[in-house]
Structure 1
């Protein structure tokens, strides 16, 4: 593995999936990295996450595939159904590398813990409950002011601090906040339906849904609905009653979930937003990755995978280039079109669903995008 010689120190802002991937990738190439996260407890919410073959490939590059396989659920098939439970067809999900599963799932807190272990194994200092309030490119480095009043100076600052990125707000005035797509996403985590054998998609309804196994005995289900603005958040009882009602037309595994879900199961709803930020993705020695710069919707189950890939590619390009600017430009060049395609395909699928397009039309976009994602990153 080539070492990075153009920088010695880096600050990664954001301790989520993309930030941890970037921190680990930079540290393994010889950079002295610090990681900060605004959450004092360094937590992640409790839904599951689908891990496609391309995402598993990225995690293999981080050396985490075996742990994910051991603590998650791995499968080599996904099936498309009508909402009433009628099988439409099996998705083609080829093995993209020898020994690499086609797809799988894991609970987000478990994946978060696995990645935190990777960060700690590299002795990366982590500061919690803090973010940045000022960034100043000066003399080949970045002067940083933190929200706790402390300061620091780094050769590189990586903004991986979510769709609501503070780094983007400070240093990238040509970018804008992510925009609503018109859909919202429901999620429930609960025990596994007895007949579920792999990943499942349910189309042909106003509210498409999907199910991913996250362990031998647990799953999470997502459902996409038209988002309606409201003044208050739903409490736990309203979440339960509303999701149960939304599932009233469904057969198959979603029907089983409707009939067996309890108020103790974790249920969440949030409106969807997306943004493919324009270049440049770097300003001097400050660079963005993950949802801060390429925020997508869950239609292709690729938001996490895109963030991990970006963290890896950033380190690779900095190691390949003779100077920082060339490395950052190489990172942007390798990531821009791939991320753009994922976001545009995901948003297109959402719009097709809002427009009540035929199941076959939505599935065609899904399969085409998944095939593109299999290409090397």
Structure 2
């Protein structure tokens, strides 16, 4: 069936937007991506990825590039702060029998892989450009850009992130991002030989871990409870992160602590979440990814569900008789899965903050992993 939307604009060139461009171009549709950053940059350290994300990479056609430039392995090792191992979390091989069940990669590296695939798809990318007005009419959306140009599209996809301007324009009453009471620290460090897969040390109030992102690098992550969402001077990052690691006497954690200095690549981020109740579209403008379901990293699935949005939206546009039907069916397929990830991740954070039931924490992780293993 011919897609009811032949000419599509994607506002936002992040992971979800690029994935949408790649999948829609496979149908031969005219696709433009408007990205406000003239450098098309991606910030951050490493990103952990589960089997469902690797399965999505396979669908996009970028799994081979990820395997060459990132790191993949089976299982996650869990330890007490002094180093005693307490469990191994299994990670089912969802992307195929030959592909490990999880992995990690540097965010800028993954962004470059997706950007290269977006360009190779034939999508037109407009950098340093975004919209100033969206005017809907019977057959589409008239978009005015910051460069003064005005164009018409059959469909506009808002993929401009947590603080989406598209969401603000078309769903002004939608809920807003909420701070969760936790923050995460990340740092890129040399990878010791013994770090073969994700490893996590669980303390009474602080959780830390490492995950390989390439053959010679890993990223360190530390989750900290912090009642107030306050700015921190980057000059304090190294000393504050070092202090958080002090209670973890495990040799590898102390090795990480010793490696931190003022030149270390450290990222601090307060954790926010967002779940917008459906509908996620208004007329011929639809929202995907963090614009409607931004999650904390507790299930390592934020990028996953955003990329899955793109895949499902492309599938529905390829089979529906109308744009409205495609968007309604897209939302029906995505709601429960995305709600589960956002709410379950948020609940894990609540349990960690309050020192709640560890059995509930473990059960939520198991149930969520099992649900994510199901086809999208």
TM-score (norm 1): 0.96
2:124 counterpart residue number: 125
Shift of 1:359: 4.6
Structure 1 position 354 matched with structure 2 position 353: yes
Shift of 1:230: 6.5
Shift of 1:95: 1.7
2:273 counterpart residue number: 274
Instruction: Provide structure 2 residue ranges, at least 5 long, that are not aligned to the other structure.
Output: none
1:369 counterpart residue number: 368
Shift of 1:198: 1.0
Structure 1 position 14 matched with structure 2 position 6: no
> Any residues of structure 2 matched to 1:1-377 within 5 Å, and which?
4-96=2-94, 97-229=96-228, 232-235=231-234, 237-252=235-250, 253-357=252-356, 359-377=358-376
Shift of 1:84: 2.3
Shift of 1:244: 0.3
Shift of 1:216: 1.3
Shift of 1:205: 2.6
Runs of 4+ in 1 over 6 A off after TM superposition: none
Q: Report the Cα distance in structure 1 between the residues aligned to 2:186 and 2:36, rounded to whole angstroms.
A: 24
Q: Report the Cα distance in structure 1 between the residues aligned to 2:343 and 2:230, rounded to whole angstroms.
A: 30
3-state DSSP of counterpart to 2:33: strand
Shift of 1:231: 6.0
State the Cα RMSD in Å.
1.5
Is 1:184–1:225's contact at 8 Å kept on the other side of the alignment?
yes
Closer/same/farther in 2, CA of residues 94 and 231 from structure 1, 3 Å limit:
closer
Q: Report the Cα distance in structure 1 between the residues aligned to 2:238 and 2:355, rounded to whole angstroms.
A: 25
Please, which moves more after superposition, 266-275 or 249-258?
249-258
Please, which moves more after superposition, 143-152 or 340-349?
143-152
Q: Report the Cα distance in structure 2 between the residues aligned to 1:370 and 1:231, rounded to whole angstroms.
A: 32
Q: Report the Cα distance in structure 2 between the residues aligned to 1:57 and 1:352, rounded to whole angstroms.
A: 29
Please, which moves more after superposition, 204-213 or 118-127?
204-213
Is 2:289–2:305's contact at 8 Å kept on the other side of the alignment?
yes
Q: Report the Cα distance in structure 2 between the residues aligned to 1:296 and 1:238, rounded to whole angstroms.
A: 27
Please, which moves more after superposition, 226-235 or 115-124?
226-235
3-state DSSP of counterpart to 1:256: helix
Please, which moves more after superposition, 196-205 or 115-124?
196-205
Shift of 1:217: 1.3
TM-score (norm 2): 0.96
Instruction: Provide structure 1 residue ranges, at least 5 long, that are not aligned to the other structure.
Output: none
Is 1:4–1:315's contact at 8 Å kept on the other side of the alignment?
no
3-state DSSP of counterpart to 1:335: helix
